[in-house]
Amino acid sequence: MIARNARSRGRLLLGRGKNTMLLGLLLPASLLLTGCLGTLMGALCEVSPDSDHCYQASAVQEGNDDNCDKVSGKDFGGYSNPPKDKCHLLIAENTGDASTCSKIEGGMMSYTEEECLAAAFKNHTVEDCKTAEDEMACRSAWGKNGKGCGDGYVYDKSKGGCDVKKEEPEPTENPFDNDKVKEDLKTIGDAGKSGYMQLLDWDIEHEKDPDRLAGLQKYKEFLEGAGEKLEEVTTTFEKLQDLKKIFIDSYDPKDSIENMSASSILAPGFFDRLKDKLTGGSEPDNASRAEDALTVYEKMLERQKDNDFLQQSRLSRVGDTIISTAKDKATEKLKESAEELAKGIAGDAFAVVGIVDHALSSFQEEAQKQMFVGLAAAYNRQRESIAQSNPNLSPEEIHKRTVQNVKDNPYEDVPNSGFVKYGNIIENGDCSTAGNNPLCIDNRVFWTAMDKTYEFSHRAKK
């Protein structure tokens, strides 16, 4: 039970009014510390005046979607059961277990399976299924929706679910144990003419992981370009294998800011959430949400700084690997050529931009910080307006439109507030081109932080 509680990281929704008072009176502090609050709440729900929300909160706290069946939806006349559907949605959002979304019934005023899946996928990965009640059902829900089954698993269309990945039989001849290829390989130019490229094509053809495949394909492009520009540079089979690994590693998305969770940065602990509910804690206003967005922006900038360092390191390793066997004196020139070639072909994987320190320092002075808070608040206001006027748009499209709208019309919703200066941040552009101007943002990170924070703070619909 304690382990299950630990997996429930999202918002705990308790009932309002008398139900909240009842829970506040009946939950001794000693029982709160046992880790079994969900079970205790379930027992109390039988006498609660708002049993549906009480059972909902109990199920969400336990992370057990079977308990959502106790939510009757009696207040909705049988046309739909929003509290029960929301029970499944919140469990999916908290745990990443998308399998519970198949239990969404939908209907008027309720939630859809698509909304539930979006909530599950937003801040989780398929590897979170390791802690699900039914790990294989969880992985299958991810795989069915094109998200993959995770390491060691494969999606079987005929079965409509994920299965343990079977060891593929070894080829009759190991393509990377070919002495003839090694003997023929003397220079970079030989890579495209000898059997090495055939071995690489074999590797690409048999690669199932999309991120590794992207790295292999870009590596092949690099070799084709290097065969023309660095044709006479000496190399070995082992050195080329080192280069291949650098490209594959560069397409590993695990550290991307897109995979960071705003909830892990901002979410209060369980007892803080419970205290807020029992004491009637107020909902955050737009100013506090904007402050939260800056907090997420700062943490994401710090992660991006680490990513930039890794990219720089990998790019340098490309050049070092190329010249490690070079015999001529122009090794530095060769290294520069190799790095430029890698950047041109691999794009973002090697596109090192040293602007994070500038972006971090740009809002840390209090006098300047309020301008950034104003920009974040403008994003929140305009996104709410766009969402309300376009209820059928996806969150991704709403975010995209909001970013463009804020860039084009930062003061659109406050036309008479000429004293507000946050629009200058937009006019100054990206920190990579803003020179010494302190009012700038890292566009790679800022808008992602705005999106993540907005989604985190607007999860509950009612």
The pLDDT assigned to 95 comes to: 92
| In the predicted structure, residue 379 carries a pLDDT above the cut 90 | yes
Confidence class for position 416, pLDDT limits 50, 70, 90? low
Q: Please say whether the beta carbons of 23 and 53 come within 8 A.
A: no
Q: How many Cα atoms occupy the beta-carbon half-sphere of 197 within 13 Å?
A: 15
Spatial distance between the Cα atoms of 321 and 223, rounded to a whole number of angstroms: 13
Q: What six digits make up the tokens of 157? A: 């269309």
Q: Using pLDDT thresholds of 50, 70 and 90, give the confidence band for residue 401.
A: very high
Length of the chain: 462
Q: 39-49 burial, b for 16+ CB within 10 Å, e for fewer?
A: bbbbebbeebe
Mean pLDDT computed over 380-396: 92
At 331, the pLDDT band (50, 70, 90 cuts) reads: low
Backbone φ, ψ for residue 46 (5° rounding): -60, -25
Instruction: Label each residue of 337-400 as H, E or C.
Output: HHHHHHHHHHHHHCCCCCCHHHHHHHCCCHHHHHHHHHHHHHHHHHHHHHHHHCCCCCHHHHHH
Tell me which of 9-13, 18-22, 204-208, 294-298 is least confident. Answer: 9-13
Q: Which of 25-39, 51-65, 176-190 has the lowest mean pLDDT?
A: 25-39
Is-contact 10 90, C-beta < 8 A? Answer: yes
What's the whole-number average pLDDT of the chain? 76
In this structure, are residues 125 and 97 in contact, taking their beta carbons and an 8 Å threshold? no
CA distance 434 to 427: 10
- 242-255 per-position pLDDT tens digit: 888 878 777 776 66
Exposure of 345 by Cβ count < 10 A (0-12 exposed, 13-18 middle, 19+ buried)?
buried
**Mutual angle of helices 18-26 and 37-45, in 10-degree steps:** 130
Residue with structure tokens 């190991």? 174
Does 8 score more than 90 pLDDT? no
Token pair 């029982």: residue:
31
Q: What is the pLDDT of residue 222?
A: 84
**Integer Cα distance of 126 and 142 in angstroms:** 6
Distances (CA, A) of 385 to 342, 397, 401, 414, 458: 43, 14, 11, 13, 13
270, with CB counted inside 10 A (0-12, 13-18, 19+), is middle
Q: What is the pLDDT of residues 116-126, one digit of tens each?
A: 999 999 989 99
pLDDT category at 13 given cuts 50, 70, 90 is very low
